[in-house]
Structure 1
Amino acid sequence: MKILFAAAEVAPLAKVGGMADVVGALPPILKKMGHDVRIIMPYYGVIPDKLKENPEWIWKGYAMFQEFDIFQTVLPGTDVPLYLVGHGAFIPARIYGGDDEDWRFTMFANAVAEFAWNYWKPNVIHCHDWHTGMIPVWMHQVSDIGTVFTIHNLAYQGPWRWFLDKITWTPWYMDAHNTMAGGIKYADRVNTVSPTYAQQICTPTYGEGLEGLLSFLKPWGILNGIDTDLENPATDTALVQNYSVETLDDRLANKIALQKELGLAVNPATFLIGMVGRLVEQKGLDLLLQTLERYLAYTDAQFVVLGTGERYYESQLWQIAARYPGRMSAQILFNSALSHRVYAGSDAFLMPSRFEPCGLSQLIALRYGSVPIVRRTGGLVDTVSFHDPIGQVGTGFCFDRYEPLDMYTCMVRAWESYRYTDAWRLLQERGMNSNFSWQSSADKYVQLYRSIPGLENV
């Protein structure tokens, strides 16, 4: 089967959220399964420094009265062909933002359609989020190219129909009010990145105004995976001490090193919670700010947060860290190596998300032996199970309601459980033995592709 992935982000070349990890990890697995898989993305100004060789120019096309170029290379570390859409709008060293964001990605989607029509025709175009939402609309008139539309985050829906009418060709049959709705309505198959989120977006609470359309279509829910070769504490070069589930005692050296690195009081027995991610409301930062100081005052725990986001949350976390020297560290930056040291050095990992389509951080935390503390929503429901110390089952600590008291109680329960070292060790081992590799997800994506009429036997 010939599959073309179209996305605004692809790891490791351009990454902001989980979409980049999916598009960077899934195609190599599908290629190993024997499929002809290729990726197309914008040629951002941040990409050249991340490539070992200059991409080869292969084709020139026209979209929205603009000339664009297609360059070819391979995704770093793989043998997957990568096409880069070259245009002046993508030259700045940024992925999102700017007054022209809607125009840039609509032009990118148009370029992908022209490329598929005129240069390399796939059996299916796998589109990701609103940036590629117009591709299924345009491909709706083509019978020999199927489309799959994956929803990573329904909250971002792209430009409205009236703006699309001004900048590009909108077919007479299109009656969707924005690009996200267009991708959902006209794709041959729609999926999202966890079974629970697929159910939740069919309700008014999580549907972002599209719950009626989604409940009618009944999207597939296919859980994301992680690259178990890349996310591996036994080989991770960012760590002070490598370890595995068989050598879990060696993990303690990473905790001590992290405490020293971040200016925390060095004490191996102190319960240390880590948090890595975007500092935005979706990730539960409003809950955290309401409970963190009380939690630090009540317990002897330490807390580390790493990430960037909204200025209000950044400044509030800085102030709390200043009031609790040696107990809390706020690292307001993006640092991939440090994030791995947080996973490897923390005893527990906090994800109190308001909503979470899938989430990759909790999967990495499980892999590294950091016990997740999560709210039961979206993919967190599908990946973290409730810890029962009597039955010795479960992989983490969970709370249901999006309320400060519920989160606080869950964090205290984790702190108290940490005292029981034997049970905690078994809890870590269960998490590290969980299998969240991409292979199972890749098999389900192949089933999804082949469920499209005409592709059953391709």
Structure 2
Amino acid sequence: MAKSGELRVLHVASEVVPFVKTGGLADVAGALPKALCQQRGIEARVCLPGYRHALRVAENLGLRWLPGHLVIEAGGVDHHIGVGEVVHDGLCTYLLACDELFGRDGCYGPTPSSDYEDNARRFSVFAKAALALPRFLQWIPHIIHAHDWQAGLVPALLERGWCHDLPATRSVFTIHNIAYQGTFWHWDMKLTGLPWAMFNPLQVEHFSKLNFLKAGIVAAQRVTTVSRRYAEEIQTEDYGWGLEGVIAGHAHKLSGITNGIDADIWDPAHDPHLPAHFDAQDLSGKAVCKAELQRELGLPIEAKTALVGVVSRLVEQKGIDLVLAGVDPYILAGRMQLVVLGAGDPAIEAALRRLQGRHPTRVCFWHGYNEGLAHRIEAGCDLFLMPSRFEPCGLNQMYSLRYGTLPLVRYTGGLADTVTDVCSGEGNGFTFGPADLGHFSAVLDRALGLYQHFPEDWRRAQLRAMKEDHSWQVVARSYAALYRSLTWV
């Protein structure tokens, strides 16, 4: 039971660390509720679909099935939802299991680049089940915080009174990446539980399709994005992905709160993935991490050569094509080594393999994702590249700052909010503007030059970066203030 006077918040997300992850949404949905629980007077919980992989992870963390089940109707079909509960790191998480909808290997599709044909049904049922969950638990939240298009129907159903047990519950909706909107043909309206009257340009219809993201934006009491600058950018044609007019029309309830990082997991002084530890007072361990990373990846151990890292989904958005087109001269000149960890577009993967083939002793491409290696890249590299064409927030640049690895980023979204160019005299990294080869090459040349010729200036920039606080505890205070502005608690 919740304590009297405690603000209760239920987060609804399609992926949550440590149960399942395909992108940054999972990091936020796992870390923000945990940080909120550490704030005085707040009880936060989270729910997600019971995917096959998520249930396997949950079983290892003490999953217990609650008695009874939910029955959720969608398009005349009843779906029986089992409710599993896990308490991990002080956070209570609920997995909503339905084998015919979520008992699959993928979250959104059989491959990262394809979608399941019944996603409208799957996430309509998920949204309804999330709203039915509080009555099932006898735990009524003051705030339901829905994340991204997969939970976009939650604010809309709540506003329409779909669940009579939540008459005073308010909704917050967070846009993590406006490029992914959850668009479906109009006949899927019958699955949503919303009346057909809402299929209009002012509510859930967008260019003749049902748009789950738009539903959340229009219906929620407050809309947030994952950085301040991204909240401004998505009101423009260049970044709004067709929804810029909708966003501008609801700008009165829009705000940007830059994401944080889990400072316990990403801590160079105690990181279990590292061969040596370090902090801002003693950077000697970072040199050890660099040498051991070079050894692990089969690169020559060269302390004076800049080791440059990339950990990313390999898609056009991330600007990896700029890296591929721009690094050859600096590698040939012996000014840098490059390590890339990631997977994605087969064409980009093939280009990275060709780059490694041309420079086998200077470039290492690790296909896939490896959590331990990601930590060692952040710790062992000197420079970290994020030349994204757009980036709602980004987390790796904040990991890099904490590990004294200066980020080189394009000035956009959350990258612009967290990285300041060293040319200002008080900066913590390197930034560039237009996403073209000329601007990227110029800033890369400038960064390598500072590393090679001005080591004391580089060291001062490292220390400034490492002293910044981008922890979730700071971010949670902003969200707590937002929640309290909507409630009487």
TM-score by length of 1: 0.95
For 1:286, what is the secondary structure of its paired residue? helix
For 1:179-258, list aligned pairs within 5 A.
179-218=212-251, 219-258=254-293
For 2:434, what is the secondary structure of its paired residue? coil
For 2:223, what is the secondary structure of its paired residue? strand
For 1:62, what is the secondary structure of its paired residue? strand
Q: Does 1:35 align with 2:42?
A: yes
Q: Does 1:114 align with 2:123?
A: no
Alpha-carbon displacement from aligned partner over 1:256-310 (angstroms, at most 9, x marks no partner): 1111111111111111110001001111122222223244234521111001111
The CA distance in 2 between the partners of 1:303 and 1:66, in whole Å, is 53
For 1:278, what is the secondary structure of its paired residue? strand
For 1:87-166, list aligned pairs within 5 A.
87-88=98-99, 89-97=101-109, 98-116=116-134, 119=137, 120-142=139-161, 143-160=167-184, 162-166=186-190
Amino acid at match of 1:160: F
CA contact (8 A) 1:7 1:23 kept: yes
- Report the alpha carbon displacement of residue 117 of structure 1 after superposing the two structures with TM: 5.4
The CA distance in 2 between the partners of 1:141 and 1:75, in whole Å, is 32
Q: In the superposition, relative to structure 1, how do residues 163 and 118 fare at CA in structure 2: closer, same or farther (>3 Å)?
A: farther
Q: Does 1:85 align with 2:103?
A: no
Report the equivalent of 1:425: 459
CA contact (8 A) 1:371 1:428 kept: yes
Choose the corresponding residue for 2:81, options 69, 75, 98: 69
- Report the alpha carbon displacement of residue 166 of structure 1 after superposing the two structures with TM: 4.2
For 1:307, what is the secondary structure of its paired residue? strand
Give the aligned length.
452
Amino acid at match of 1:319: R
Choose the corresponding residue for 2:63, options 54, 60, 85: 54
Q: In the superposition, relative to structure 1, how do residues 55 and 369 fare at CA in structure 2: closer, same or farther (>3 Å)?
A: same
CA contact (8 A) 2:120 2:191 kept: no
For 1:26, what is the secondary structure of its paired residue? helix
CA contact (8 A) 1:161 1:179 kept: no
For 1:324-403, list aligned pairs within 5 A.
324-388=359-423, 392-403=425-436
Alpha-carbon displacement from aligned partner over 1:364-396 (angstroms, at most 9, x marks no partner): 0111111000000000010000102xx641000
Report the equivalent of 1:410: 443
Amino acid at match of 2:449: E
- Report the alpha carbon displacement of residue 163 of structure 1 after superposing the two structures with TM: 4.1
Amino acid at match of 1:113: L
For 2:20, what is the secondary structure of its paired residue? coil
Alpha-carbon displacement from aligned partner over 1:91-125 (angstroms, at most 9, x marks no partner): 12322213333332222112112224554431111
Q: In the superposition, relative to structure 1, how do residues 171 and 145 fare at CA in structure 2: closer, same or farther (>3 Å)?
A: farther
Percent identity, please.
39
The CA distance in 1 between the partners of 2:155 and 2:396, in whole Å, is 30
The CA distance in 2 between the partners of 1:141 and 1:122, in whole Å, is 17
CA contact (8 A) 1:58 1:72 kept: no
CA contact (8 A) 2:143 2:172 kept: yes
Amino acid at match of 1:359: G
Larger mean Cα displacement after TM superposition, 443-452 or 149-158: 443-452
Amino acid at match of 2:30: G
CA contact (8 A) 1:295 1:408 kept: no
Superposed CA RMSD in Å reads 1.6
For 1:435, what is the secondary structure of its paired residue? coil
CA contact (8 A) 1:164 1:170 kept: no
For 1:3-42, list aligned pairs within 5 A.
3-33=9-39, 34-42=41-49
Alpha-carbon displacement from aligned partner over 1:392-415 (angstroms, at most 9, x marks no partner): 410001001111110111111100
Alpha-carbon displacement from aligned partner over 1:212-246 (angstroms, at most 9, x marks no partner): 11112221100100111111011111111111111
For 1:373, what is the secondary structure of its paired residue? strand
Structure 1 stretches of 5 or more lacking a match?
Answer: none
TM-score by length of 2: 0.89
- Report the alpha carbon displacement of residue 37 of structure 1 after superposing the two structures with TM: 1.1
Report the equivalent of 2:480: 446
For 2:299, what is the secondary structure of its paired residue? coil
CA contact (8 A) 2:62 2:86 kept: no
Q: In the superposition, relative to structure 1, how do residues 190 and 59 fare at CA in structure 2: closer, same or farther (>3 Å)?
A: farther
The CA distance in 1 between the partners of 2:255 and 2:197, in whole Å, is 25
Structure 2 stretches of 5 or more lacking a match?
Answer: 1-6, 110-115, 162-166, 206-210
CA contact (8 A) 1:72 1:81 kept: no
- Report the alpha carbon displacement of residue 90 of structure 1 after superposing the two structures with TM: 1.3
Report the equivalent of 1:280: 315
Q: In the superposition, relative to structure 1, how do residues 155 and 228 fare at CA in structure 2: closer, same or farther (>3 Å)?
A: same
For 1:227, what is the secondary structure of its paired residue? coil
The CA distance in 2 between the partners of 1:155 and 1:273, in whole Å, is 29
The CA distance in 1 between the partners of 2:468 and 2:187, in whole Å, is 46
For 2:420, what is the secondary structure of its paired residue? coil
The CA distance in 1 between the partners of 2:136 and 2:301, in whole Å, is 62
The CA distance in 2 between the partners of 1:79 and 1:264, in whole Å, is 41
- Report the alpha carbon displacement of residue 172 of structure 1 after superposing the two structures with TM: 4.2
The CA distance in 1 between the partners of 2:278 and 2:457, in whole Å, is 19
